[in-house]
């Protein structure tokens, strides 16, 4: 599931745990909310350049451009397209069925998975994984397991691009976008860096790329051995 623009969600990203709109949301409920607005990310109202320069930077670290997966691909297809153009065999995953329906229309030859990343097991190892503005929708208590799962799904020297909230401590909250309530959670920068280290990976780049909004992206690379 692709997030709404960071300027709308992340300006007040680190919400109290008892925020006005409530916090915890079941992933299937979140997917249902996204189903209702899935067409937005495939429309002219969405900035299709969102995240592209960051992906180009991440791809510079990739050793082999063979297998890639877009986790939380959404409906825009822009990340799938850049990976295909770079020579990867691309797969993609999302929990929103309407997001996937649109994505399949644009890229009928791509392998898509309708699955919950909290429960789903990667079928193989990948040279590149994108988790751009997506997995932060998973429950806070699942965030550590998801990041470990992403890191461990990389081949040696494989690269992951990963976004989160640029905060110091764990937290979660909800915001409304296009009439739908969307949940998001973050582990905090110290915890993210510790998990990366535990998973035999290295943080190659860390940036709050939309200041003063709290949008964080990391380029993570698995060690060679």
Average pLDDT over residues 210-218: 93
Quick one: average pLDDT of 23-44? Answer: 81
Considering the domain delimited by 6-11+21-222, tell me its CATH architecture.
3-Layer(aba) Sandwich (3.40)
- 69 beta partners: 91, 129
Share of the chain above pLDDT 90, in %: 68
The mean per-residue pLDDT over the stretch 118-124 comes to 95
pLDDT one-digit tens code per residue, 143-195: 999 999 999 999 999 999 999 999 999 999 888 888 888 889 999 999 999 99
Res 73: pLDDT: 93
1, pLDDT greater than 70: no
Confidence (pLDDT) at 178? 87
pLDDT of amino acid 30: 77
Between 168 and 7, residue with greater pLDDT: 168
- What pLDDT is attached to residue 23? 67
- Mean pLDDT over 21-32 rounds to 72
Question: For the ranges 15-29, 96-110, 174-188, 202-216, which has the lowest average pLDDT?
Answer: 15-29
The pLDDT value recorded for residue 71 is 97
Residue that wins the pLDDT comparison between 47 and 69: 69
The whole-model pTM stands at 0.89
What pLDDT score does 176 carry? 87
Does residue 44 register a pLDDT over 80?
yes
């Amino acid at each position: 599931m692709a997030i709404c623009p960071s300027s709308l969600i992340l300006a007040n990203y680190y919400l109290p745990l008892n925020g006005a709109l409530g916090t915890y949301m079941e992933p299937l409920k979140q997917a249902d909310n996204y189903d209702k607005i899935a067409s937005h990310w495939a429309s002219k109202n969405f900035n299709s350049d969102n995240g592209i320069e960051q992906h180009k930077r991440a791809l510079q670290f990739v050793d082999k451009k063979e297998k890639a997966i877009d986790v939380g691909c959404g409906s825009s297809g822009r990340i799938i397209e850049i990976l295909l153009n770079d020579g990867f065999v691309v797969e993609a995953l999302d929990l929103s069925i309407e997001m996937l329906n649109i994505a399949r229309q644009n890229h009928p030859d791509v392998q898509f998975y309708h699955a919950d990343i909290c429960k789903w097991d990667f079928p193989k190892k990948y040279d590149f994984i994108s988790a751009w503005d997506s997995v932060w929708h998973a429950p806070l208590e699942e965030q550590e397991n998801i990041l470990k799962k992403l890191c461990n799904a990389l081949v040696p020297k494989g690269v992951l691009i990963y976004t989160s909230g640029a905060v110091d401590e764990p937290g979660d909250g909800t915001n409304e976008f296009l009439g739908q309530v969307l949940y998001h959670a973050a582990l905090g920068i110290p915890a993210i860096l510790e998990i990366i280290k535990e998973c035999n990976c290295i943080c190659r780049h860390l940036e709050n790329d939309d200041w003063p909004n709290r949008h964080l992206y990391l380029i993570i690379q698995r060690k060679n051995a």
